[in-house]
Amino acid sequence: MQDKYLNPFTDFGFKKLFGEEPHKDLLISFLNTLLPQKHQILDLQYTKNEQQGSTALDRKAIFDLSCISSTGERFIVELQKAKQNYFKERSVYYSTFPIQEQALRGDWDYKLSAVYTIGILDFLFEEDRSSTEVVHHVHLKNQNGQIFYDKLTFIYLTLPNFKKNIDELETEQDKWFYVFRHLQDMQEIPAVLHEDIFLKLFETAQLACFNEIERQAYQDSLKNYRDWKGITETVREEGREEGIEIGVEKGKLEVARRMMAKGMTAEDVAEIAGISMMQLNKPQK
């Protein structure tokens, strides 16, 4: 059966739904299900995110939006298709940019607006594979578990953990998570999603309404998504299987070299497989 709606995990699909001015109410609705009452968004504007996706691998694995609310809160919204080494470090690093951008010239009292990094993950961290949680809130705390600074928040959504079916959806957040997980598989709009905001989403996501240029751009983006997911899953699965017989590190190297032979760059393979460039370039014995 032919797809009726776009896949929101593609770069094109995510930008179409959440990164265009006419559809920013979709992004506002989604973000408000994750934010505390004091930081609910009434309006927002998109900002340049020149620091985001600064490497070739970032641009393949991640799509970023950067925006600021009408009351000054800053948001980085990341769609990440596959696990990268140092993902958490990367998130911390990029969160510093909207902090620094608030600096004023001359006398300044260092008062900052809140910064949120929202990570929408289409994978599970290895350390989270035994967890069933979907939403992870990360704050800066002291040794007693008390919040030291409440204006820097990381929210990670491990969407593969969202298992509710259509009859179990209770909250707006449930509905948004369900849409992320199942939009590309739907042929009809479920009754529980017959709300104005979701009806607009389905209208925006309908492939039949795309012009020829949009349709081709989406197909290219979908192919990139499927290729990227296939490559990363192959590297990890074959690495685990070979690792059982010949040692984990050697197994990873064997698979990594096969993926390079298929045309994937050494940098991408090293990142996905979790090995260093030095290991990858080491002569085979």
Q: What is the pLDDT of residues 170-211, one digit of tens each?
A: 999 999 999 999 999 999 999 999 999 999 999 999 999 999
Range of the domain at 274: 226-281
Identify the three-state secondary structure at position 164: coil
Domain boundary among 158, 182, 212: 212
Are residues 194 and 256 both part of a single domain? no
B/e letters for 30-42, b = 16+ CB within 10 Å, e = fewer, are bbbebbeeebebe
Q: Whole-prediction pTM value?
A: 0.81
What single DSSP character describes residue 80?
A: E
pLDDT value at 157 more than 90? yes
Tell me what pLDDT residue 274 has: 67
DSSP E strands in the chain: the ranges are 44-46, 62-69, 74-80, 115-121, 135-141, 147-158
Instruction: Please give the helix or strand (H or E) that residue 235 lies within, else none.
Output: helix 212-246
pLDDT value at 138 more than 80? yes
Say if 6 falls within a structural domain.
Answer: no
Say if 89 falls within a structural domain.
Answer: yes
Helices 172-182 and 196-205 pack at an angle, to 10 degrees, of 10
Say if 204 falls within a structural domain.
Answer: yes
Are residues 47 and 131 both part of a single domain? yes
Say if 218 falls within a structural domain.
Answer: no
Span 142-163, mean pLDDT? 95
| CB-CB neighbours of 230 under 10 Å | 10
Are residues 249 and 131 both part of a single domain? no
Are residues 91 and 136 both part of a single domain? yes
Domain boundary among 161, 181, 212: 212
21/85: higher pLDDT: 21
Domain boundary among 186, 212, 238: 212
Q: How many domains does the chain have?
A: 2
